[in-house]
């Protein structure tokens, strides 16, 4: 059974959900994602680590994650999870790692459906142009997350 709870983290509302001992969703806002609205240790663990991230005290997350999506989405999210703290890559870089540089737009679409915001660091993926990018939570949030990590848009490789 899926459980979720609303947390105030860094003065922002987050919804965190878990099922079967794994975090399944982290989203900005109070989102009704189904299941039981009930706090538990796993949800608190994830919230605590997110608080540490926003305080600049955490670079990696240790809570267990279960990704739910298509095989392609999961491959994009798994590749994105390898992008190190404060580093950036392009959508094209991820597509090339998956074997086809022409899939950059599809990579962007998959990242737009990232179910575990911040833990799968889609904010670290930028366009080749560096000034065009998407982010489900908006460009200001993407810039903010990168600034926490000491990263800049111009650090993206060609």
- In the set 43, 122, 125, 145, the catalytic residue is 122
Query: What CA–CA distance (Å, rounded) separates 4 from 36?
Result: 6
Query: What CA–CA distance (Å, rounded) separates 38 from 73?
Result: 28
Q: Kindly list the strands in the beta sheet with 3-9, ordered across the sheet, starting from the edge strand earlier in the chain.
A: 22-28, 12-19, 3-9, 36-37
CA dihedral 49, 52, 58, 60 (to 10 degrees): 20
The answer to whether residue 156 is catalytic is no
Structure tokens at 119: 């833990």
Q: In sequence order, what are the beta bridge partners of 25?
A: 17
Query: What CA–CA distance (Å, rounded) separates 106 from 111?
Result: 9
Give catalytic residue positions: 122
């Amino acid at each position: 059974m899926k459980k979720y709870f609303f947390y105030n983290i860094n003065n922002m509302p987050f919804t965190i959900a878990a099922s079967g001992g794994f975090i399944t969703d982290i989203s900005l806002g109070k989102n009704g994602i189904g299941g039981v609205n009930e706090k538990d240790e796993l949800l608190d663990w994830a919230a605590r680590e997110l608080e540490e991230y926003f305080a600049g005290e955490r670079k990696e997350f240790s809570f267990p994650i279960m990704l739910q999506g298509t095989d392609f989405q999961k491959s994009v999210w798994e590749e994105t999870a390898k992008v190190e703290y404060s580093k950036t890559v392009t959508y094209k870089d991820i597509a090339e790692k998956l074997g086809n540089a022409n899939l950059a737009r599809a990579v962007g679409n998959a990242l737009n459906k990232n179910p575990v915001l911040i833990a799968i660091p889609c904010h670290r993926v930028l366009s080749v142009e560096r000034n065009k990018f998407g982010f489900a939570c908006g460009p200001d949030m993407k810039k903010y997350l990168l600034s926490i990590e000491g990263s800049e848009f111009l650090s993206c490789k060609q």
